[in-house]
Amino acid sequence: MAMRKREWIDWLKALLIAFGIAFIIRMFIFSPIIVDGPSMLPTLHDHDQIIVNKFIYRFNEPERFDVVVFHASDEKDFIKRVIGLPGEHVMMKDNVLYINGEEIEEQFIEDNNIHTDDFTLELLPGQHESIPDGYVFVLGDNRNNSTDSRRESVGLVPIDQIVGKASLIYWPFDRIQLVKE
């Protein structure tokens, strides 16, 4: 009888340790997120399930074209692509992206029907001449249907509000792949 009790205690310890490790991984390293809406088409589809790397930005700053999840409000997280970094000027003219006056190719936009209205950083919410330190400029890949840094409700995103980097689409199975940068 004592052997059975010891076995149960060993199983209980193993389960508690497993749950503890899973909790730490989920809270601090990786987290599953479900994409809600078409704003990141064609890269991410509505209802794609992805893994977000929450650990990467503890050691590195976001880079241009990273797909990030950030707190848009207390109730809602958004997923968008980093376009502009601190100190940079962002402009879109005739469907071409310019950073600090240089044309930037966006290889992740495959659909020629995607049209982005012209804008300059100065004409957007906040009317900045360049992106301030501690902030990034984000856009959805589906520019025709995206609430992003061009909108007052989002604006420039504080780096400390970024949850992590979208790394892997794991569901549905036919879409399993690394997230394109």
Q: Where are the domains of the chain?
A: 32-178
Q: Is the pLDDT of residue 133 over 60?
A: yes
| pLDDT tens digits for range 11-65 | 888 888 877 777 776 666 778 899 999 999 889 999 999 999 988 998 899 999 9
Q: What is the phi/psi pair of residue 39, to 5°?
A: -70, -15
Residue 149 and residue 124 in contact, taking contact as beta carbons nearer than 8 Å: yes
Q: Which of 13, 54, 80, 153 is catalytic?
A: 80
Residue 161's nearest CA partner among 89, 91, 62, 90 is 62
> What CATH code would you report for 32-178?
2.10.109.10
Q: Which of 39, 54, 149, 165 is catalytic?
A: 39
Residue type, 78: F
> Judging by DSSP bridges, how do beta strands 96-99 and 90-93 pair with one another?
antiparallel
Is 180 considered catalytic here?
Answer: no
Question: What's the whole-model pTM score?
Answer: 0.84
